[in-house]
């Protein structure tokens, strides 16, 4: 609670230049200015759009990979190794790597698209594509991490349940819906909530790849808070942004909890 209280308190102060940089109490003025700022609202909606896509996408892909990794097939160890490769690459390195791959002039991705007869894409320098490129980079990097938790959950499900269901005539889909999903509820809830919190605070790809651009299309609240605090030296505004972000994360996580508990109840 201490960091939250400090953040809240700090958001009520602002640096006064006419008083030689002294912090003065301004009440909720930082919040009032924030809510009047169109850049704040743009960052707010970019953050919402990003999270509406990236969280379900990452959880679904992590589940898919976990199911694939859990198969007892020939050569599965090789695929498991492939799944884990992004885990060994740090997010800054991954971002720089993807920046090279997505270079509109000489990137590998555009060369491959050209081979398929598709024209070169602007990717990170397009305001319509940049956010989705960041979703792709963050998903490539993050999904194998979340897969581990779901894979561990899958291994906890007793095989006898599947065998009994098979004897009772349940198909692949039926076994997945009636056995796998209900018994994977707890790891799924953990992954969904943690993944949501992590993605609301996602910052490195925006910092390294787009600097919030083009046209603020990747300027998420976290990046805006960073810029306010560390580039513009306006710590009061930065802390107000962090408080808004915190409320957003808490509201989203509460909604996810409620959704899962309702399902459990029914």
Q: Which residues bind another protein (CB under 8 A)?
A: 14-18, 20-21, 24, 26, 33, 37-39, 103-106, 114, 120, 122, 124-127, 211-215, 227, 230-235, 237
Rounded CA gap, 172 and 64, in Å? Answer: 14
Smallest distance from the beta carbon of 1 to another protein, in angstroms?
A: 23
Token readout for 205 is 């790809």
Residue 221 CB coordination number (10 Å): 23
Cβ 79 to another protein shortest distance, Å: 34
CA angle 138, 143, 145 (to 5 degrees): 110
CB of 196 to another protein, least distance (A): 28
Of the pair 153, 212, the CB lying nearest another protein is at 212
- Shortest distance, CB of residue 45 to another protein, whole angstroms? 16
Cβ atoms of 158 and 135 within 8 Å: the answer is no
Q: Retrieve residue 42's tokens.
A: 């743009």
Site of tokens 């930065």: 238
| Closer by beta carbon to another protein, 25 or else 257 | 25
Sign of the alpha-carbon torsion through 258, 261, 265, 266: positive
Of 86 and 214, the one with the shorter C-beta distance to another protein is 214
Nearer to another protein, 13 or 146 (CB): 13
């Amino acid at each position: 609670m201490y960091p939250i209280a400090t953040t809240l308190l700090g958001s009520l102060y602002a640096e006064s230049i006419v008083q030689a940089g002294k912090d003065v109490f301004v009440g909720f003025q930082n919040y009032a200015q924030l809510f009047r700022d169109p850049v704040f609202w743009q960052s707010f909606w970019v953050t919402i759009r990003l999270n509406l896509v990236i969280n379900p996408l990452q959880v679904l892909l992590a589940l898919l990979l976990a199911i694939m990794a859990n198969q007892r097939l020939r050569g599965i160890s090789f695929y498991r190794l492939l799944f884990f490769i992004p885990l060994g690459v740090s997010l800054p390195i991954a971002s720089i790597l993807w920046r090279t791959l997505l270079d509109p002039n000489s990137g590998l991705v555009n060369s491959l698209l050209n081979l398929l007869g598709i024209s070169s894409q602007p990717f990170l320098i397009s305001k319509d594509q940049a956010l989705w490129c960041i979703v792709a980079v963050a998903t490539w990097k993050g999904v194998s991490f979340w897969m581990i938790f779901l894979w561990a959950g899958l291994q906890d499900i007793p095989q006898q349940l599947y065998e009994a269901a098979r004897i009772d005539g349940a198909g692949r889909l039926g076994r997945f819906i009636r056995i796998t999903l209900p018994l994977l509820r707890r790891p799924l809830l953990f992954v969904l909530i943690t993944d949501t919190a992590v993605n609301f605070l996602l910052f490195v790809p925006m910092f390294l790849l787009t600097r919030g651009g083009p046209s603020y299309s990747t300027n998420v609240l976290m990046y805006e808070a960073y810029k306010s605090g560390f580039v513009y030296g306006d710590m009061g505004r930065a802390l107000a942004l962090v408080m808004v972000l915190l409320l957003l994360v808490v509201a989203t996580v509460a909604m996810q909890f409620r959704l899962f508990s309702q399902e459990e109840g029914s």
